[in-house]
């Protein structure tokens, strides 16, 4: 029996999966690490923490397994996107990594538009300039920490640095490079035009490779401290959303993913990079070879439900909180919630907008509010699906993962609001499984990632849309879409009174 390892380097923890040839998860280990938040809007991490906790996790995984490290044929990675790791000429880290959820770079985003032009930026990168992307972070360091910027010889993203520490080889793969705003998405090469116009030395950008490409083996010194075999093959891996898509079988036209965690993502497969969504959704290179994906984001998806529980039902479990939702009819008895607790991303890209409950009266009970929160989160995600469909995409089947897949009433709600069949998987391991699948494909266990998915991933249940509910939700969704525009001005005024 041979095995592969999938390493999912997240924002709060690293999760490591040991996976067998039938797709079975033999063992998993998770190790946390902390954020550095010195100022409002700042979010950083120490890259050494990623390496140390991954190493500790590998040791725990291997020691608890009892098998032979030589039977682990390959290892690959999923990683948090957009984070900036700056390295000097000796590949030593120059400063803490600036993460995807750091929002200090609003002025740098505007500078990118001023210099490149919004239309030209979209032509090259297919994405707008947002604070989360890597290029604005580079420009921030260039402006405010010039002594560090001048020492930099290369930059990488989080999982790329972790992989470098395991192999001694420095690369970046296409799915993560697509989230830097420095790569030409269609040509799959660094944009010399953007580098030149913004004063970024092209040599800062590392060599580009495919996600399933073998980039080395485990370095002898790392094998000694981690317990891995120096013969284990190392594959480049992919961005977390791309790996989450692979780990959910989003590998052909018509397949879409709905992932509800703290934030929410709707991600749909694209066979090529030719479509134009007018910057309303993200457009990235997939970790599957020569494919792409489009993606919309709800900033406060599961976070909205967690907020409601913490404020109004702190001592209860989520299961108890959701127990009565099925007794409330679609539309929550005329109560509507917009999940803008942390602003919104798709389709509005507005950090200042705030959430609302609309339609409250004294007849409403707590269960109505709970259903309204679930519906509001799902309406927000449906904004992305609506954009996809209006631009000609076919949305037939949606695989639901994360917190939104743990409650059957919410899964039915997704089927009704999205007007599509919702698929729940038997075992959901997300990006870590996608990373393991890239390693299995790289090791030539399968002829394609699709063949790998057919072996590794199994459906648990399908939820079909109920026609009467679909019609009700279409009417309510039209009302939901009016709320943003009608509350934006009032929200802006109210922000002046926040402490």
Q: What is the pLDDT at residue 91?
A: 97
Q: What is the pLDDT at residue 499?
A: 61
Q: Which two tokens stand for residue 340?
A: 């803008």
Q: Which two tokens stand for residue 347?
A: 């389709």
Residues of the chain with pLDDT under 70: 499
**Beta strands of 339-402 (E only): which ranges?**
356-358, 397-402
CB 173, CB 154: distance < 8 Å: no
Q: How far apart are CA 378 and CA 414, in angstroms?
A: 6
Burial group, residue 187, by CB count within 10 angstroms (0-12, 13-18, 19+) = exposed
Q: What is the pLDDT at residue 70?
A: 96
- Residues 411, 413, 418, 420, CA torsion sign: positive
Q: What is the pLDDT at residue 363?
A: 96
What radius of gyration, in Å, describes the C-alpha atoms of the chain? Answer: 22
Q: How far apart are CA 139 and CA 231, in angstroms?
A: 40
Which listed residue (240, 368, 386, 419) is catalytic? 240
Q: How far apart are CA 265 and CA 257, in angstroms?
A: 8
**pLDDT tens for each residue of 105-124:** 999 999 999 999 999 999 99
CB 62, CB 228: distance < 8 Å: yes
Reply yes or no on whether 451 is catalytic.
no
Q: What is the pLDDT at residue 136?
A: 97
Nearest to 170 by CA among 206, 138, 204: 206
pTM score: 0.89
Q: What is the pLDDT at residue 56?
A: 97
Q: How far apart are CA 456 and CA 433, in angstroms?
A: 9
Beta bridge partner(s), residue 156: 85
Number of residues written out for the chain: 499
């Amino acid at each position: 029996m041979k095995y592969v390892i999938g390493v999912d380097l997240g924002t709060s923890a690293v999760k490591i999966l040991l996976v067998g040839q039938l797709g079975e998860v033999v063992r998993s280990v998770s190790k946390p690490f902390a954020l550095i938040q010195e100022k409002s809007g700042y979010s950083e991490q120490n890259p050494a923490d990623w390496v140390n906790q991954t190493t500790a996790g590998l040791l725990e995984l291997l020691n608890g397994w009892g098998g032979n490290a030589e039977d682990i044929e390959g290892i690959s990675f999923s990683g948090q996107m957009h984070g900036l790791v700056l390295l000097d000429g000796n590949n030593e880290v120059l400063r803490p990594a600036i993460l995807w959820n750091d929002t200090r770079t609003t002025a740098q985003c505007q500078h990118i538009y001023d210099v490149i032009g919004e239309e030209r930026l979209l032509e090259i990168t297919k994405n707008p300039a947002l604070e989360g992307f890597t290029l604005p972070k580079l420009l921030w360091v260039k402006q405010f920490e010039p002594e560090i910027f001048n020492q930099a010889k290369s930059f990488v993203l989080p999982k790329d640095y972790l992989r470098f520490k395991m192999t001694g080889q420095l690369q970046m793969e296409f799915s993560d490079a697509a989230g830097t705003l420095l790569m030409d998405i269609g040509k799959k090469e660094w944009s010399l035009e953007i580098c030149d116009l913004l004063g970024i030395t092209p040599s800062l950008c590392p060599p580009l490779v495919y996600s399933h490409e073998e980039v080395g083996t485990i370095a002898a010194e790392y094998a000694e401290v981690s317990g891995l075999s120096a013969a284990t093959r190392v594959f480049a891996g992919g961005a977390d959303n791309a790996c989450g898509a692979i780990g959910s079988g989003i590998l052909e036209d018509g397949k879409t993913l709905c992932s509800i965690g703290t934030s929410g993502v709707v991600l749909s497969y694209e066979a090529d990079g030719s479509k134009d969504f007018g910057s309303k959704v993200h457009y990235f290179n997939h970790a599957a070879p020569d494919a792409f994906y489009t993606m919309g984001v709800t900033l406060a998806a599961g976070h909205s439900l967690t907020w409601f529980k913490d404020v109004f039902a702190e001592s209860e479990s989520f299961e108890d909180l959701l127990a009565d939702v099925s007794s409330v009819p679609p539309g929550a008895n005329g109560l509507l919630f917009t999940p803008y607790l942390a602003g919104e991303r798709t389709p509005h890209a507005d950090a200042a907008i705030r959430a609302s409950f609309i339609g409250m009266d004294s007849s409403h009970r707590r269960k109505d509010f709970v259903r309204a929160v679930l519906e509001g989160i799902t309406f927000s995600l449906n904004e992305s699906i609506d954009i996809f469909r209006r631009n000609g995409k076919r949305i037939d089947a949606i695989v639901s993962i994360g917190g939104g897949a743990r409650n059957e009433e919410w899964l039915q709600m997704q089927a009704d609001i999205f007007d599509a069949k919702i698929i729940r998987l038997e075992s959901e391991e997300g990006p870590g499984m996608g990373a393991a699948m890239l390693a299995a494909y790289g090791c030539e266990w399968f002829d394609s990632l699709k063949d790998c998915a057919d072996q590794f991933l199994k459906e648990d249940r399908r939820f079909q849309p109920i026609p009467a509910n679909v019609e009700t939700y279409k009417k309510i969704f039209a009302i939901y879409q009016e709320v943003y525009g009608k509350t934006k001005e009032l929200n802006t005024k109210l922000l002046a009174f926040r402490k």
